């Protein structure tokens, strides 16, 4: 109030809304005495210390203007932009034990992995210094190209071979990408089964792959007299000792068609389901069934064989960015990468011109015996397979004198 700027206020201890005006010269002096005189004892009388408002001066205005000018200069030169640390999916790599194998020196060196997908955006920084053989089933490009929705092939390749912000499972494999799927205009990636079949055969005969990674799948044609082209090509590859790792499919839940996707339904192929960070089954991971193509499946070929992380996985995307994706596609690459580490550690199990499927049987037997139970009980589960991938234990379960 005007005329009272020179006073301080002494509130009543029992009601802070009642104050007495006091001369500031005595504020804080004889507090206990005033409390007794005013009848407040034993409660002390504590004054409100007021902060005097300072008048706005030309100096204040100039100082503020200088600060604003400095701020604008920093902003224009990107010096005020704070880059938040990128998230990663190290939890997924650690969950399946591949980082322990990487620390032991296993990187996939010398193992040939062929991936059939939507192509790859190879100018991502995470692929700097990498060598890739690219084959185009969609167009006629001789240079690596990405045809897919959300750069699906680039995402999958990053899980396997990325280097930089996040290192892939097996970054030093000899790598090939075949573009056989593309954006179909409805927000999905699809392709002709004949193209997928031809891509698998290219991986086998032209690239001479040890492992073919298929983050794709279609509905099994069990009622048809003739199997699909991708299934036929997969069967041919596995019968010649080439490892095929394929997605179980993303149609789990009430819309599940009752079996894993083709060509992962081929007996010697490894069909992969997806788990979450908490090691539960991802809700859209496809179910397997005991019977397929007119025969009863037997261990270690029950579908799906294994599950691996496949929910909210961070990997390489388009425009040199990192994206998140979910699906059995992601899980498939984790298993394919772990298999590359296994073959690096056990080169005698790699396919050669004389191979049949016996090496695959040994590796799949070890896969079954090494899988980590995630609550599915004993044996095989239609969603969880034999359990969660344990890459270290998988390698340790390979017989010391494997012959095939």
* CA nearest to 344, candidates 104, 105, 93, 106: 106
User: DSSP letter string over 164-187?
Assistant: SSS--SSTTSEEEEEE--EE-SSS
Give me the catalytic one of 117, 195, 251, 256: 117
Beta strand 322-325 with 313-316 is: antiparallel
Distance (Å, whole) CA 242 – CA 240: 6
Taking the CA atoms of 396, 247, 262 and 345 in sequence, report the sign of the dihedral they define. Answer: negative
Contact 349, 361 (CB under 8 A): no
Q: Name the H helices within 240-355.
A: 328-345
Q: Where are the beta strands (DSSP E) in 260-312?
A: 270-275, 291-292, 295-296, 306-309
**Is 117 annotated in the active site?**
yes
* 154-176 burial code (b ≥16 CB/10 A, e <16): bbbbbbbbbbbebbbbbbbbbbb
User: CA–CA distance from 144 to each of 47, 61, 110, 154, 177 (Å)?
Assistant: 77, 59, 22, 10, 8
Give me the catalytic one of 124, 152, 380, 381: 152
**Is 403 annotated in the active site?**
no
Q: Where are the beta strands (DSSP E) in 34-118?
A: 112-117
Distance (Å, whole) CA 288 – CA 380: 10
**Is 78 annotated in the active site?**
no
* CA nearest to 275, candidates 153, 389, 151, 391: 389
Q: How many residues in the chain?
A: 404
Taking the CA atoms of 206, 207, 209 and 211 in sequence, report the sign of the dihedral they define. Answer: negative
| For residue 300, cis peptide bond before it (omega within 30 degrees of 0) | yes
Contact 333, 213 (CB under 8 A): yes
Give me the catalytic one of 167, 215, 329, 331: 329
Instruction: Show which residues are catalytic.
Output: 117, 152, 329
């Amino acid at each position: 109030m005007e005329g009272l700027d020179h006073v301080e206020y002494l509130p009543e201890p029992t009601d802070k809304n009642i104050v007495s005006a006091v001369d500031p010269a005595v504020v804080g002096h004889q507090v206990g005495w005033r409390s007794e005189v005013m009848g407040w004892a034993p409660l002390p009388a504590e004054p409100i210390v007021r902060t005097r408002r300072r008048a706005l001066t030309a100096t204040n205005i100039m100082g503020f203007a200088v600060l604003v000018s400095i701020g604008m200069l920093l902003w224009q030169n990107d010096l005020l932009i704070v880059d938040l640390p990128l998230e990663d999916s190290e939890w997924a790599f650690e969950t399946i034990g591949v980082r322990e194998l990487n620390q032991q020196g296993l990187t996939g060196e010398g193992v040939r992995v062929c991936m059939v997908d939507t192509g790859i955006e190879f100018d991502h920084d995470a692929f700097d210094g990498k060598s890739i053989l690219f084959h185009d089933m969609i167009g006629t490009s001789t240079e690596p190209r990405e045809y897919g929705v959300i750069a699906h092939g680039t995402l999958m390749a990053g899980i396997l071979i990325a280097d930089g912000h996040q290192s892939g499972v097996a970054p030093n494999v000899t790598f090939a990408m075949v573009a056989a799927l593309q954006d179909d205009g409805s927000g999905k990636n699809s392709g002709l089964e004949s193209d997928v079949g031809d891509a698998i055969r290219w991986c086998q005969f032209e690239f001479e792959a040890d492992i073919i990674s298929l983050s794709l799948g279609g509905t099994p044609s069990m009622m048809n007299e003739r199997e699909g082209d991708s299934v036929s090509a997969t069967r041919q590859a596995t019968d010649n000792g080439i490892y095929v790792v394929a997605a179980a499919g993303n149609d789990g839940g009430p819309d599940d068609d009752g079996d894993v996707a083709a060509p992962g339904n081929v007996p010697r192929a490894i069909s992969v389901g997806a788990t979450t960070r908490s090691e539960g089954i991802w809700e859209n991971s496809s179910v397997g069934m005991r019977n397929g193509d007119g025969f009863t499946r037997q261990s270690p070929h029950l579908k799906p064989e294994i599950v691996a992380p496949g929910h909210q996985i961070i990997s390489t995307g388009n425009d040199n960015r990192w994206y998140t994706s979910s699906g059995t596609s992601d899980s498939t690459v984790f298993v394919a990468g772990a298999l590359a580490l296994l073959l690096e550690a056990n080169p005698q199990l790699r396919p050669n011109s004389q191979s049949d499927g016996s090496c695959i049987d040994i590796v799949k037997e070890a896969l079954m015996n090494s899988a980590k139970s995630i609550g599915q009980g004993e044996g095989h589960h239609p969603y969880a397979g034999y359990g969660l991938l344990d890459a270290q234990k998988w390698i340790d379960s390979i017989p010391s004198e494997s012959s095939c």
